[in-house]
């Protein structure tokens, strides 16, 4: 089992899972997850790497936060976390809500990020996602953000059923292990915890502006791997291709959105060689 520590960074206290030793690998989860999304990945990678998996700002067991759910602030959280742990170089892996902060961190701090892996997410309004968005964004984007306060009020008391929908859809009906499912439900139970989770969606316009501004002046020079499954598919690769110097992309077959829990072995088969290509002891 990883060691759990609370680390103060950038005005918040993050709950962080730590395991292994060697070159650092930072794992950034999405919604409705916690660091436990990465359980199978940590178990494998910790034999060779120093794995760092925080609960994002305001998520899971990290401290409550009233603001800062935009991608830029969460990228600053990640940089500050690496600094607090004495890490000068890390591979960064982000999925869903964790992918835009990972992307901005690599753009802003290429000396800190030796390799970048992003999966199952969109990067603001960058071109390339038009086909995916042809029928509009996923329904929950609007539900979570259209009327602040509404979604958490409606869902309070029904959190388990709501989280189960995402876990089932994100694994193409297979579901996740009961212990992990229960951890996610606990992490997203209560009006305030839901408010903080939905604040990420409410900050998406701000995050999109940050991404647009960043790519107008900077190219992504860090070796990058984009991974797609269902439903995002190749949309993320198409967004990254025009702004990235060194991009590898893969689609994982028969895999739902929650890649690290649904198809961990397929994910690890891609991660291991990619991470090994940029190993550096920056601890």
Contacts of 265 (CB under 8 A, 6+ apart): none
**pLDDT tens figures, 127-146:** 999 999 999 999 999 999 98
DSSP label at 244? B
pLDDT of residue 88: 97
pLDDT of residue 268: 98
Range 162-188 average pLDDT: 98
Mean pLDDT, all residues of the chain: 96
Range 31-37 average pLDDT: 98
CA angle 279, 282, 283 (to 5 degrees): 125
pLDDT of residue 148: 83
pTM for this structure?
0.97
- Name the percent of the chain lying above pLDDT 90: 96
Query: What backbone torsions phi and psi does residue 230 show, to the nearest 5 degrees?
Result: -105, 130
Q: Is the pLDDT of residue 185 over 50?
A: yes
pLDDT of residue 278: 61
CA–CA separation, 279 and 234 (whole Å): 27
Q: Is the pLDDT of residue 280 over 80?
A: no
Question: What Cα–Cα distance (Å) separates residue 225 from each residue in 9, 150, 248?
Answer: 27, 37, 5
The CATH classification number of 3-135+207-276 equals 3.40.50.1820
**pLDDT tens figures, 216-248:** 999 999 999 999 999 999 999 999 999 999 999
Domain definitions of the chain by residue range: 3-135+207-276
Q: Is the pLDDT of residue 281 over 50?
A: no
């Amino acid at each position: 089992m990883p060691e759990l520590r609370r680390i103060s960074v950038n005005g918040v206290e993050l709950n962080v899972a730590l395991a292994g030793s060697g070159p650092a690998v930072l794992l950034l989860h999405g919604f409705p997850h916690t660091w436990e999304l990465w359980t199978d990945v940590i178990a494998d990678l910790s034999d060779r790497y120093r794995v760092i998996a925080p609960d994002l700002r305001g998520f899971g067991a990290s401290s409550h936060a009233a603001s800062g759910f935009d991608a830029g602030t969460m990228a600053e959280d990640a940089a500050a976390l690496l600094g607090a742990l004495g890490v000068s170089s890390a591979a960064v892996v982000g999925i869903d809500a964790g992918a835009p902060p990972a992307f901005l961190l690599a753009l802003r701090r290429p000396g800190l990020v030796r390799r970048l892996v992003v999966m199952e997410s969109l990067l603001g309004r960058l071109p390339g996602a038009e086909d995916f968005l042809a029928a509009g964004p996923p329904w929950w984007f609007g539900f979570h953000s259209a009327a602040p306060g509404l979604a958490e009020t409606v869902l309070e008391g029904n959190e388990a059923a709501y989280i189960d929908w995402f876990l089932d859809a994100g694994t193409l009906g297979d579901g996740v292990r009961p212990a992990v499912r229960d951890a996610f439900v606990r992490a997203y139970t209560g009006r305030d915890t839901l408010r903080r989770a939905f604040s990420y969606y409410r900050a998406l316009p701000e995050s999109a502006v940050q991404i647009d501004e960043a790519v107008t002046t900077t190219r992504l020079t860090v070796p990058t791997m984009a991974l797609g499954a269902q439903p995002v598919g190749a949309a993320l690769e198409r967004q990254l291709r025009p702004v990235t110097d060194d991009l590898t992309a893969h689609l994982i077959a028969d895999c739902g959105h929650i890649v690290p829990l649904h198809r961990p072995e397929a994910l690890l088969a891609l991660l291991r060689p990619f991470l090994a290509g940029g190993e550096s002891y920056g601890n």
